[in-house]
A and B are shown apart, each in its own frame.
Chain A
């Protein structure tokens, strides 16, 4: 059986949460990950986004940022502010307009859509098409499945199933993340694959979304290709 390098692209650590990066790295290493990306909320790490991680964990943990904006203009401003300074830009989705602005912007690496709102159409097939064109990966946040119960979880799974259908149709990139806020929220890669099967993701797709795609995003594989094409 081939060995895969697994990555978790959405983990929150100190200063946003109480848990230090070293602790998360130790648990993630034990679980069999090849790397994690620390994506703290941009308001919390304002001005410190360029800070380097300690050398002992620098080859395992990657610095990223999660942008939570309320309006489209604010989102665009913040993306421009952080682009080039951090290796990974994640945008927390919201309304349709906000998602559209994030997916049309090729500076964004990952969009984390929200599945919690009642009746709101956050991500449509048109937007997933933009994601495929601009090489923006769409995140499947498994923390919502782990912490949700009954009707909440049923709704989230339904939304994820719908998004997965669009992702397959337009061949967009998808990543599976734990969105962990503590070491107890982290799950091993095989568990993540089993959780992804709850909303209909096949094993090969889930492994691809946990290993090859996150690795490519961190190496800027697709973005580099885009830059070459533009030149």
Chain B
């Protein structure tokens, strides 16, 4: 009985310490996850794409706008083309941004027309509040 109590005490302490280090829910940032689809002439590297996205956001909204959008590329991978068309490359990815800057980020994504000389077009498939939700919608 004594042993059990001691164990519980230890666990509580650990939990409390853990929660003290985490940000309280009221201070946490609200985010949106944008699942997007990209069609391009040839496969595009994650680094090339990230550079283009950043350039587009900086060009449209400047340094302050870019800092407010809190954008980050979470995931990006090539998708097998269901149409069987060989000359077109399709990729999908997830992009994170601030919850009130979705339309701005969408406009910045739509402004991207090429990366390293390769023509491309981006379309936002869905928006979700969690990565899980965005990846589920992306798979559909």
Contacts and interface: CB of A to CB of B under 8 A. Distances in A.
A, B in one complex? yes
Interface of A: 26-27, 31, 145-147, 149-150, 153, 182-188, 190-192, 194-195, 197-198
B98 interface: no
B110 A187 contact: yes
A184 B123 contact: no
A198 B39 contact: no
28 contacts: A27-B39, A145-B111, A146-B110, A149-B59, A153-B59, A183-B39, A183-B88, A184-B113, A184-B120, A185-B113, A185-B121, A186-B121, A187-B121, A187-B123, A188-B124, A190-B106, A190-B124, A191-B106, A191-B107, A191-B109, A191-B124, A192-B110, A194-B104, A194-B106, A194-B110, A195-B107, A195-B111, A197-B107
Contacts of B83: 26
Interface string B58-96: 011000000000000000000000010000100000000
Contacts of B109: 191
A184 B110 contact: no
Nearest to B102: A194
Interface of B is mostly: mixed
Interface in B115-130: 119-124
A147 B56 CA distance: 11
Contacts of B107: 191, 194-195, 197-198
Contact of A182 (B110, B119, B123, B124): B119
A200 to B, nearest CB: 13
Nearest to A31: B123
A146 B56 CA distance: 10
**Interface size, B (range):** 20 to 34
B103 to A, nearest CB: 5
Given A184-B39, A184-B41, A191 B123 contact: yes
Can you list the 3 inter-chain pairs with the closest CB atoms, starting with the nearest?
A191-B110, A194-B107, A194-B106
Given A26-B83, A183-B88, 12 more contacts: A146-B110, A146-B113, A183-B39, A184-B40, A184-B113, A184-B119, A187-B110, A191-B107, A194-B104, A194-B110, A195-B111, A197-B107
A59 B114 CA distance: 31
Q: Which of A149, A184, A198 has the most CB of B within 10 A?
A: A184
